[in-house]
Amino acid sequence: MISANAKRLRDKRQEAKSLGLCANCFCAPALLHRQRCQPCQMKAIIKEAFKFDRKRQLLGSTGARGSCYVPQYSPQVRKEWTGAILEKWNGQCFYTGLQIEIGSTAGLSFKLPASRADEFGPSAVFHPDNLVWCHQGIALLKGNMTATKFESWLSAEFLPLLQSR
């Protein structure tokens, strides 16, 4: 059975969606083809990057979806980190300088890859200084390379290949 508060919140979200407003903060216009405004969408992307899998140690658990290996941080630390990552936003890809847009082409990328947290240490990998805003396609190309290795590959091998075509 749905509680009265849950029903009221669901109805409020439906109303906001029908008016083209953010379903999270209910006041700003939602991004095109999205249910959230730009700040709420950015916060959702950041929250996903620091997702913590409490069941990680259980048998059958996977490390999927950017699960964080470090202990949960206090809400104050998370708020400070979110602010630090939001301040990095300049509308351009960190690696290429391409224009990126929240809600369509922008995403976060770990300079030291999350998949190599055992090698670099979880405290270094899951830190706001290690996250940069980049184009989603570029993040896919980067894979599990470090930022320096990826930048050298990008300038030495990938860009000359594109320019030759």
pLDDT tens digits along 51-93: 655 555 555 544 544 445 445 566 777 788 888 999 999 999 9
pLDDT exceeds 60 at position 159: yes
Q: Let me know whether 24 and 92 are in one domain.
A: no
The pLDDT assigned to 65 comes to 45
In angstroms, rounded to a whole number, what is the distance separating the alpha carbons of residues 15 and 18? 5
Structure token pair of residue 55: 């069941």
Q: Let me know whether 82 and 129 are in one domain.
A: yes
Q: Let me know whether 22 and 69 are in one domain.
A: no
Q: Let me know whether 14 and 58 are in one domain.
A: no
Q: Let me know whether 50 and 23 are in one domain.
A: no
Q: Give the structural domain span for 9.
A: 1-30
Structure token pair of residue 100: 């990126």
Q: How many domains does the chain have?
A: 2
Q: Let me know whether 105 and 146 are in one domain.
A: yes
Q: Let me know whether 90 and 132 are in one domain.
A: yes
pLDDT per residue as tens digits for the range 100-134: 998 888 988 999 988 887 788 877 888 889 999 99
Q: Let me know whether 61 and 91 are in one domain.
A: yes
- For CA atoms 110, 90, 152, 136, give the dihedral sign: positive
Alpha helices (H) along the chain: 4-19, 38-49, 75-87, 117-120, 122-125, 136-142, 147-153, 159-164
Q: Let me know whether 23 and 72 are in one domain.
A: no
Asked if residues 106 and 135 have their Cβ atoms less than 8 Å apart, the reply is yes
Report the mean per-residue pLDDT for the chain: 81
Q: Let me know whether 16 and 65 are in one domain.
A: no
Q: Let me know whether 87 and 126 are in one domain.
A: yes
* Cβ neighbours of residue 24 closer than 8 Å, sequence gap 6 or more: 35, 36, 37, 40, 44
Q: Let me know whether 56 and 126 are in one domain.
A: yes
Q: Nearest-5° angle of CA 10, CA 49, CA 130?
A: 150
The pLDDT assigned to 55 comes to 54
